[in-house]
Amino acid sequence: MRVVQWATGGVGKAAIETILLHPELELVGCWVHSAGKGGRDVGELLGREPLGVRTTTSLDEVLAMDADCVLYSPLVPDRDVVAALLRSGKNVVTPVGWFYPSERDGAPLAAACEEGRSTLHGTGINPGGITELHPLVFSALSSAVTFVRGEEFSDIRTYDAPDVVRHLMMFGGRPEEAMGGPMLGLLSGGFVQSVRMCLDALGFSRDAEIRTAQAVAVATAPIDSPIGTIEPGLVAGQRFVWEAVVRDRVVVRVAVNWLMGEEHLDPAWTFGPEGERFEVELQGDPPAHVTIKGWQPASVAEGLARNPGVVATAVHCVNSIPYVVAAEPGIRTYLDLPLVAGRAHPDLA
């Protein structure tokens, strides 16, 4: 299957590496955002051997390509671009949204899928993994489910996107800037879809109320970080929570805990003895409690060079491609697709 990569940030670069290793996929094109990256060999742009595939900054060139799928991972999604790709007959897999859109939110892109006989699938790690897919996978082994949870505990110093961390997430800013900033709204776009997928798939009451919360911790001493030194009193930790409540009981909980280290925070938030991790919890008969290690780097330096959480996001997208290409046209979620599996290492295949 012929694949075009859209954008070469952390996700895009890892996606290209993964496409090259996948036995059923071939990289045939690559869109780049910055003009200076256009017209280059993709391999050379990534600091590896030439691949014989040139980058382009032109949407029209991508639309004209003969390709089965576009892996769409820019910083800022553009619904019109996604619609144009779908109308041109290309399937789209993306970590930026459309995990489980409402009928109203999904309608314009569902129409584009219909026109191009193409499929759109949103996937990733968080949302797109531990916040809905993995709780649902484990729910198959429990009856009478009363609660599911997906939660991230990460050192945000390992996320190599300083502009996003400083100006969107508002780390290093004043607490009131972070609390009034755009992050809760931006994150809610994805995580509320996770919550709704859990509610619908598990059959919780349609009257469930969804509520959100945000809290910040400030530095108590100067903290060294990729966005510069965070001075005492400025934001160095954030928690975001989305909960669905049925008859006064929390039935779905999604949360992220992003800390600039654990040493100098007020409140004195830590990761606890288990350290950085992702968690999936389910209360039912029997219950399940899963801790995922390996999606966080061993050190800040390692994370800045290649963050396993970003790689996992890209790989989830790439591994979905054969199933998305084979799917019926439309917006297709985990609730529609068959089991998505990875592929063996080429040396062992």
Ligand X SMILES: NC(=O)c1ccc[n+]([C@@H]2O[C@H](COP(=O)([O-])OP(=O)(O)OC[C@H]3O[C@@H](n4cnc5c(N)ncnc54)[C@H](OP(=O)(O)O)[C@@H]3O)[C@@H](O)[C@H]2O)c1
Told to check if 95 binds ligand X by CB under 6 A, we report yes
Q: CA 296, CA 319: separation in Å to the nearest integer?
A: 20
CA atoms within a 13 Å half-sphere pointing along the CA-CB vector of 49: 2
Q: CA 306, CA 302: separation in Å to the nearest integer?
A: 6
Rounded to the nearest whole angstrom, what is the least distance from the CB of residue 240 to ligand X in the complex? Answer: 14
Q: Which of 313, 319, 320, 333 binds ligand X (CB under 6 A)?
A: 313
Q: Is the peptide bond before 95 cis (omega within 30 degrees of 0)?
A: no
Told to check if 102 binds ligand X by CB under 6 A, we report no
How many residues at the interface with ligand X, by CB under 6 A? 24
Rounded to the nearest whole angstrom, what is the least distance from the CB of residue 287 to ligand X in the complex? Answer: 25
Which residues between 211 and 270 bind ligand X (CB under 6 A)?
none
Told to check if 93 binds ligand X by CB under 6 A, we report no
Binding mask 153-192 for ligand X (x = CB under 6 A): --------x-------------------------------
Q: Select the span of 8-16, 207-215, 221-229, 271-279 touching ligand X (CB under 6 A).
A: 8-16
**Please, are residues 219 and 247 in contact by the beta-carbon 8 Å criterion?**
no
Told to check if 12 binds ligand X by CB under 6 A, we report yes
Of 36 and 52, nearer to ligand X (C-beta) is: 36
Tokens of 136: 């649902």
Of 115 and 160, nearer to ligand X (C-beta) is: 160
Q: Select the span of 9-17, 42-50, 246-254, 287-295 touching ligand X (CB under 6 A).
A: 9-17
Rounded to the nearest whole angstrom, what is the least distance from the CB of residue 346 to ligand X in the complex? Answer: 25
Of 127 and 237, nearer to ligand X (C-beta) is: 127
In angstroms, how far apart are the furthest CA atoms of the chain?
59
DSSP 8-class letter at 156: G
Of 33 and 306, nearer to ligand X (C-beta) is: 33
The three-state secondary structure class of 205 is coil
Q: Alpha carbon of 99 to those of 59, 93, 142, 235: distances in Å?
A: 24, 10, 24, 30
Task: Find the helix or strand (DSSP H, E) in which 60 lies.
Answer: helix 59-64
Of 129 and 330, nearer to ligand X (C-beta) is: 129
Measured at the CA of 275, the angle between CA 269 and CA 280, to 5 degrees, comes to: 95
Using the structure block, give the residue that is written with the tokens 């003009």.
Answer: 35
Task: Find the helix or strand (DSSP H, E) in which 119 lies.
Answer: strand 119-122
Of 120 and 145, nearer to ligand X (C-beta) is: 120
Rounded to the nearest whole angstrom, what is the least distance from the CB of residue 46 to ligand X in the complex? Answer: 11
**Please, are residues 235 and 175 in contact by the beta-carbon 8 Å criterion?**
yes
Tokens of 193: 């879809």
**Please, are residues 79 and 108 in contact by the beta-carbon 8 Å criterion?**
yes
Rounded to the nearest whole angstrom, what is the least distance from the CB of residue 241 to ligand X in the complex? Answer: 17
Q: CA 201, CA 148: separation in Å to the nearest integer?
A: 12
Which residues between 107 and 146 bind ligand X (CB under 6 A)?
124-128
Q: CA 340, CA 168: separation in Å to the nearest integer?
A: 32
Which residues between 14 and 53 bind ligand X (CB under 6 A)?
32-34, 37
Using the structure block, give the residue that is written with the tokens 């669905």.
Answer: 244
- In the bound state, the residue with its beta carbon closest to ligand X is 9
Of 13 and 264, nearer to ligand X (C-beta) is: 13
Binding mask 52-91 for ligand X (x = CB under 6 A): ---------------------xxxx---------------
| Binding stretches for ligand X (CB under 6 A) | 7-12, 32-34, 37, 73-76, 95-96, 124-128, 161, 310, 313
